[in-house]
Amino acid sequence: MFGLKEDWSLKLPPRYFTLEDYDGGVARWCPGCGDHGVLMSVRRICRDEQIPPEKVVSVSGIGCSSRFPHYMKTYGFHGLHGRALPVAEGIKARRPDLDVWVTTGDGDNCSIGAGHWLHAVRYNMDMVVMMFDNNIYGLTKKQTSPTTQPGERTNTHPRGALLPAIDPITTMLGMTNVSFVAQTVDWNPVHLHDTLVRAWKHPGFSFVRILQRCPQYTAHVFSGLQDDPDALLVMEHDNGVPVDKALDRTLKNRTTHDPSDKMEAFALAARRDAIPIGLFFCDPDRPRYNEMTVEGMGMSVEDKLAGLEDQLDRFAI
């Protein structure tokens, strides 16, 4: 990590980044909010992978979780509610050198931004998309979100949410050109971290649903999951999210799942006895739009002028 190689030779990089280089200040989320842990994890990945801060772009929509970019000391884009994905696509389109991380909420992504979500999966552009799912609208104070379970009391449905919740995982699995679907929880920093690293390494639209505690509004939803050691089902596979030994004692409920098996992924996602975490599905060979959008990039001004003259010729009289 410090340039010391296996043969004891020292190769010092011209710049070396520490956690501080990604630290955009103290986050203003509530104490106990799951967002803090994700922020720490992303900063750590940037440090571990030594991504120059000026090459990282953290893009978000609007919501508590979407404050994320402000707490990174990298480039950031805190845009509109539900519209993080089109912006991220535009950024990536002609800047393959930039490392794009998207933060979105369950309302941001599955409600107001749902249309973009479907197409972003199809574009399959190389970026990590973290959906912070606290089952609620946090920022606007406890309204029903698309992932709120029916019967949950919210300020818009005080007698209980009316509709079945959207399942982001089966929805993802069903979308055209899906290439990476993972799930993790904010309160297990090891699994969270390993999942995000796996997502970052995948070339394509790497979607990670993070079950995220909201101590203010949905504490009870997540406390059950935290207390019961068998509530989570860890998916294991050589191609999946590597499962750290440190988890052997705490997360014993395991299953083997090959992430190239989409049908089994559907079946796992549909399970009601436990919530699977790890990699549901991965296909690194899906077409990627970001390889098409770069066409013509870097053309010289002379060539552009010549090309334009050619086009004008077609209209010349």
Q: Report the 10 Å Cβ neighbour count for 53.
A: 17
CB of 135 to Mg ion, least distance (A): 7
Among 27, 30, 40, 53, binds another protein (CB under 8 A): 53
Which letter, b or e, does each residue of 111-136 get, where b requires 16 or more Cβ atoms within 10 Å of its Cβ?
A: bbbeebbeebbbbbbbbbbbbbbbbb
Among 43, 47, 73, 81, binds ligand TPP (CB under 6 A): 81
CB of 62 to ligand TPP, least distance (A): 4
Going by C-alpha positions, the residue among 229, 236, 154 that lies closest to residue 187 is 229
Footprint on residues 133-192 left by ligand TPP (CB under 6 A): 134, 136-140, 145
CB of 185 to ligand TPP, least distance (A): 16
Stretch that binds ligand TPP, among 56-64, 118-126, 176-184, 258-266 (CB under 6 A): 56-64
Q: What is the DSSP string of 238-295?
A: TTS----GGGTTT---EEE--TT-HHHHHHHHT-SSSEEEEEEEE-TTS--GGGTTTT
Among 37, 76, 86, 107, binds ligand TPP (CB under 6 A): 107
CB of 163 to ligand TPP, least distance (A): 16
Among 89, 106, 126, 152, binds Mg ion (CB under 5 A): 106
How many Å apart are CA 276 and CA 261, to the nearest integer?
15
Footprint on residues 64-83 left by another protein (CB under 8 A): 69-70, 72-80, 83
Contact 140, 217 (CB under 8 A): no
Binding partner of 140, given Mg ion, another protein, ligand TPP, none, CB within 5-8 angstroms per partner class:
ligand TPP
